[in-house]
Amino acid sequence: MKNTSDLPRFDLADKIERNMKWWKCERPTLVEKNCFSPTLIEIFGEGVSSIAGWWMVGDARRRHVETGLIHAEAMLRGGGKVIKSWEKFVLVFPEVWLGPGGREYVWCLYPAHGYWQLNYDELRHSFNADYRLVSA
C-alpha cells in the first residue's frame, strides 16, 4: 500500500452527476470535505475467500467507511486511470442504493485496460477476495 500522501486527491462534486431517476440511496454518505484521497481496506479475514454483500456493508459501517457514488464519480472525473498497485482489485463504495427493480446495490470501479469502469453489484451476492473497500 502506498503512503496516503502519495495517493492522488480527487475533487468531489456538490451532487451526483449521473441520472438517478429510478434509483434511491438508502443511507447517503456524509461528505464533509470537497476532496479525498482514497485508501483501500481489505474486507476478508485469514482463510476467507468470499463474503455476503450485506456483511461487507455492515463491516464497512463498523469501520466508519463512508464512501459512495459521489466518490466513485470523482475518481472517474479525475482521469479515471488505475493506480498500478490497485489494478487487480475491484473498488467498492459501500453506500447502499435501491435499484429500479427494488434490489439493493453498491457501486464499484472495475479495472479495464488501465482505466476504471463504473458498475454496481447486488448485495444479495457474495463478494470475493478481489474486492476492496474504498475509504476517504
What digits encode the pLDDT tens for the residues 69-107? Answer: 999 999 999 888 888 899 999 999 999 999 999 999 999
Rg of the chain taking only CA atoms, in angstroms = 14
- Structure letter (DSSP) for residue 85: G
Average pLDDT (29-38) is 87
**Contact status, residue 44 vs residue 51, Cβ threshold 8 Å:** yes
Q: What was the pLDDT predicted at 62?
A: 92
**Contact status, residue 29 vs residue 67, Cβ threshold 8 Å:** yes
Average pLDDT (19-28) is 93
**Contact status, residue 131 vs residue 89, Cβ threshold 8 Å:** yes
